[in-house]
Chains A and B, each alone.
Chain A
């Protein structure tokens, strides 16, 4: 209740203030409307009216000065709490209006003054300036009439200017002279030459190029040439042309104040904002500016508010004009004296939406795409916040050890969330909330470094959903809480590490914030869009060779787009290539159902939380509220899809599946997205990715940025000078972008031998062998190379019959198309489990070894030692068909990496030193040299700590006979995500085992935490311990087979300081 009262009170108070201000304005207007009133009378009237219009009339005094004549309230004196407005008549300051508080009052927007009060004083000044000009002209005109009558209208103007505004006349003369000279009029050139003799040749300016200062002659007075210049003009130009030019130049001159503000690097956003406001009021229809001036305005505004990136400015200046900024600035919140920008996300969105709007106006086929209502908090807001709360020392935090950064991060979040935002920001947010109402909001980071070319920071900074329900005060608190959390994420370990890797740590980073309404509708107790997703103008996941890169890709999900942005482990988005909407990823009924989205992200308005709910449940409960359901959902009945009519849970009447069929084939949506992507890619001159959402009525653009790549999907640089024997294969068709590195094992199914298999059972056995290798080889460190179509069912002769679970741990799936007698086999492109591959980031590559210009080192695959029989002794009979190559063992410690570049359609698999691995090779030249990371650190400390662990392990207490290590730690390939594989030879009692497990759990937890501090990756079971018994060792069953194995043999570790029994 109390909160409520407070906000009502606040509202009343501000309404009263606005009323007072209006009254003041009316009184002043009244003064001006009196026709016979003199300037002096107006001045004293203004001085009288002002105090009552200000917040603290009791201490408010005013003064108006015009041409030295001063009119002031009684008791007026200058104080530190003052508002000034200069009176600028035709570029000349003729006086000022000053409002002062005689005593200190609490701070508001500008010192103790509201920003409305600033507007008011500016308005009064504007009104007064016009009156002064009017008076001046009147006087001149009267004189004019008396002295000499004129023939030409323009002569009247020139004469007038000569008396009132010689500076303006000088500028006009200069322009006229240039204009005439451009028109090729020699008389004009002659006059110009008097300013610089070297220009006498006309257009050429040879003297200017010399490396010495240009000698300028004494400056002749241009004003004295007025008569001559205009004589020349009237000789060569028509009456109308002269008049038009003069009028245009004078008009343009009136925008001079804006030039001044924009060209001054010191002017604050507040000044820019009020200058633009004034510019807008000069002529709301827009002033006709000459194109260079217009362009200068655009560029200055873009640089000040959006970005100083040359490429960005170059693109943006074609689409944004001063009026766009006028609209924008109404929704920008900034600290006093701000020099901030909107940040990457804000700038990208603002530009993209204007770009689309203008393309539409130009007749491009881009149907309406709206932008959600957005408020912007400028990037320096965070500095202001830090400064306001004396948190400066946190800025240095980025230079600390990453482990320390991680450890301190929760503390920073805590401190930030408990620190207040400065009052001027709070006031701004309050206005924003009034504008938004109680629509759920998303608070998105928009930092300066974010979303720039090559540094997407994707997912590094926070974006937070807030339900925005409750009283105004509650909503404001929740909003501020979210903003401070976004601020805190600037100092999170992930972005700091990301900046470290890209050498951006020293670059200045500021965090802007976007406050955006969440697009959606109420569905039951939830709030969500009908569907949303991300769209890429370049398709990096082609499932058919008919799909080209430029056909793009849409990843769509029902509900909030969070599920489309990230890869999912338990669900799938709907994929469509907008350029080829007919070519679906999923063709059979089984695929269409298996790979359909089942879950929906929503905002629960009741509990005010972000939730994931089951799509079927949602449809059953709220099908009437859910928009576009008939376009998103099909009913599976009688082995085919029917259009959605109503949601019935009865299995007899059908099963709802989110196919998006209606949207794709019966609505213009896909075509619309294709056009949007086309326009954006063309205008940004680079591939882009966008986020979008649809609320059932309209499509909204939520974000636009240069297409981002995950760490492993950057286009790789293909080296040109690789020695032949290091190359395993090359490819030049259907290549996507990315790097697959640190491969230690290759599973090669010999195409020739596979084709020769005569028994069906043997073909089946190959698939089984792959499934078992998938379990025993180190995860994501092996690749599968095989003939034809991986995952063939039924006709398994055409490719190895595997299911996704048989290949789930591979890093890459390679299909080899060897020419058969008369035809080349058609490859599958992984379509049997395409979406599983996409979500798990398993890469796919087709090889066409018989094509000219490609290399295929067949002898490496067929001659290297085969370790299959050691891994799967019972499948040794497949040795000639399935070849498992332990790469380091057969190449003296080398490993394989596959570099893929979709831009040039090239890929190469090559052997290299493990240390020289191009782990994060990128195509942006500026970043290649980055990331000198010590890659071996992960396995080193793992090995060290394991030694420590086993040394402390008391063999008699726990009944442990020996300990072994195997896997990535032993192989020196462990990465940040690797666990530690331990093998314990156990001979104790069950009680001892219980104790041992307990003891190890403690180690596992603390080592896991250490790894988390180092890398930020939490691993559930950091120590993966396997127990083996005497019997296992005797029979070589279970993990005992690892001891003395050929591939990845377990290595004994000293236990309790003792050396373990030697194993042969």
Chain B
């Protein structure tokens, strides 16, 4: 039965096969890249608060490390399956390669529900996970990070356990650390800024001046806020943002035709991007329906909230003047909507590329931790700009040369880079 059901790993393999055909990869390369290079499955005993012992199942999957040490998060999920972890490890390989940072792809997880655990038990689980794989991970082997239901605190417990086992200080073992203990400057801004770095380059290609360009943004969380901030800094105007309203249990769009002000909105926004509706009205914002953001007469849309937001149903409502969509969220466009956008000749910066600022900054954190020397914010942003800009151009060139969509081109370039590294090492 389960072989028939939706399997994310199979989907990842199909995606790979498609690109492998385009690249005409050899069989050995395909066999290598279709499967993870290594998988660790292990049991983690945890002494529970009531004295009993519970055994948790843990995983670490290292898909490919030809380009450098593995990089990928650790997920705590009650119904974690190995196929999900495999698929996510594969995607990490491609994601690191598309921005050309020297890292491979990994992912890990534990089958557990933190809702059923106390903090002490979670700590034991974090430490237990490290004890089981401490020989197979590390700053020069495989670097974990926070993911679904794991947080910076969990990372510190893991780091601490790793350092105890290895008898030294290895801040580069893990990323997502708080600033005070080996984190990187600019982490908060990285994803949002990264989106705009690619947007800036795309505007050049579209022969639009950043001054006077208009945008509508879905969401007002971390990513959206910094994207809006940087877009305004380079001269653009954001006329509409949308945000979830916890009280009304639905989202609203907030429009100010003269341009929204991030500073102003931040003062009335909670930490997860919820804008206070009443106060926004007082500040002169029009409060519109939840999906009004998509219908605005602007030059570009930046979906920066959830997956599956541009769908077959609403793709037709996108304004006539929209020339560019930058996917700041993960998978904001459904496949049917994607087809419609292609037909409209819309220029789409795929999520994969557009929001790679986050993983790039994680890489920077690891680099700084390894040399135990930390850059200031401007240094981080400068390096981020360089990385994102060259990544964009590489994808753009590939798209032009091979007559591909940006999305296809992003996959093509990352898979070819990984394949090349394997070849260079003489593996295939």
Please give the residue numbers on chain A whose beta carbons come within 8 Å of chain B beta carbons, in ascending order.
543-546, 569-571, 580-585, 587-590, 593-594, 598, 636, 638-640, 651, 655, 657, 665, 752, 755-764, 768, 788-789, 792, 794-795, 797-798, 804-805, 808, 820-821, 825-826, 828-829, 831, 836
Contacts and interface: CB of A to CB of B under 8 A. Distances in A.
B132 interface: no
A826 B79 contact: yes
B258 interface: no
Given A589-B151, A593-B272, A805-B250, A761 B116 contact: no
A755 B5 contact: yes
Contacts of B1: 752, 755-756, 821
Contacts of B379: none
A789 B79 contact: yes
A789 B6 contact: no
B148 interface: yes
29 contacts: A544-B115, A546-B116, A569-B247, A581-B118, A582-B49, A582-B118, A583-B117, A585-B115, A587-B115, A588-B151, A594-B246, A638-B183, A639-B151, A639-B152, A639-B176, A640-B151, A665-B119, A757-B5, A757-B6, A760-B11, A761-B334, A788-B79, A792-B79, A798-B79, A804-B249, A821-B1, A828-B113, A831-B113, A831-B115
A582 B151 CA distance: 17
Contacts of A764: 307-308, 334
Contact of A756 (B4, B119, B336): B4
B86 to A, nearest CB: 13
Interface string B280-313: 0000000000000000000000000001100100
Contacts of B176: 639
Given A761-B336, A764-B334, A820-B2, A583 B77 contact: no
B272 A594 contact: yes
Nearest to B114: A587
A788 B311 CA distance: 26
Contacts of A585: 115
B30 interface: no
Given A655-B271, A757-B6, A789-B79, A836 B249 contact: yes
A758 B117 CA distance: 33
A794 B334 CA distance: 14
Interface in B21-67: 49
B158 to A, nearest CB: 14
**Nearest 8 A-B pairs (CB), nearest first?**
A582-B118, A826-B78, A798-B79, A570-B247, A587-B114, A544-B116, A831-B115, A638-B178
Interface residues of B, number: 48
Nearest to A595: B246
Contact of B178 (A582, A640, A808): A640
Contact of B84 (A582, A788, A795, A808): A795
Interface string B167-179: 0000000001011
B116 A583 contact: yes
A465 B8 CA distance: 58
A643 to B, nearest CB: 13
Given A805-B250, A826-B113, A582 B120 contact: yes
Contacts of A655: 270-271
B136 interface: no
A71 B120 CA distance: 84
A789 B78 contact: yes
Contact of B6 (A544, A758, A804, A831): A758
Nearest to A572: B246
Given A640-B178, A655-B271, A826-B78, 17 more contacts: A570-B247, A581-B118, A582-B117, A583-B117, A587-B114, A587-B149, A593-B270, A636-B271, A638-B180, A651-B266, A757-B5, A760-B6, A761-B335, A764-B307, A789-B78, A789-B79, A821-B1
Contacts of A761: 334-336
A651 to B, nearest CB: 6
A583 B115 contact: yes
B5 A797 contact: yes
Interface string B114-146: 111111110000000000000000000000000
A636 B149 CA distance: 17
Contacts of A593: 270-272
Nearest to A614: B276
Contacts of A543: 115
Contacts of A545: 116
B409 to A, nearest CB: 22
A829 B4 contact: no
Main SS of the interface on chain A?
Answer: loop
Interface of B: 1-2, 4-8, 11, 49, 77-81, 84, 113-121, 148-149, 151-153, 176, 178-180, 183, 246-247, 249-250, 266, 270-272, 307-308, 311, 334-336
Pick the most buried of B113, B119, B178, B311: most chain A CB atoms within 10 A of its CB.
B113
Contacts of A583: 115-118
A543 to B, nearest CB: 6
B112 to A, nearest CB: 9
Contacts of B151: 588-589, 639-640
Contacts of A657: 271
Nearest to A657: B271
B404 to A, nearest CB: 22
B186 to A, nearest CB: 12
B9 to A, nearest CB: 12
Contacts of B272: 590, 593-594
Contacts of A638: 152, 178-180, 183
B306 to A, nearest CB: 8
A589 B152 CA distance: 10
Given A587-B149, A593-B272, A821-B2, A805 B308 contact: no
Pick the most buried of A584, A639, A640, A805: most chain B CB atoms within 10 A of its CB.
A639
Contacts of B153: 640
Contacts of B152: 638-640
Contacts of A798: 79
Nearest to B113: A826
A804 B4 CA distance: 30
Contacts of B6: 757-760, 762-763, 797
Contacts of A571: 247
Contacts of B119: 582, 665
Contacts of A755: 1-2, 5
B4 A758 contact: yes
Contacts of A797: 5-6, 8
A583 B266 CA distance: 33
A694 B78 CA distance: 38
A315 B26 CA distance: 84
Nearest to B181: A638
B5 A794 contact: no
Pick the most buried of B1, B176, B266: most chain A CB atoms within 10 A of its CB.
B1
Nearest to A655: B271
Given A593-B272, A594-B272, A582 B2 contact: no
Contacts of B84: 795
B114 to A, nearest CB: 4
Pick the most buried of B2, B81, B152, B308: most chain A CB atoms within 10 A of its CB.
B308
Contacts of B2: 755, 820-821
A393 B235 CA distance: 77
A825 to B, nearest CB: 6
Contacts of A762: 6
A808 B79 contact: no
Contact of A588 (B81, B120, B149, B308): B149
B44 to A, nearest CB: 16
A880 to B, nearest CB: 14
A761 B311 CA distance: 10
A570 B183 CA distance: 36
B5 A756 contact: yes
Contacts of B49: 582
Pick the most buried of B2, B78, B120: most chain A CB atoms within 10 A of its CB.
B78
Contacts of B250: 805
B249 A805 contact: yes
Contacts of A759: 6
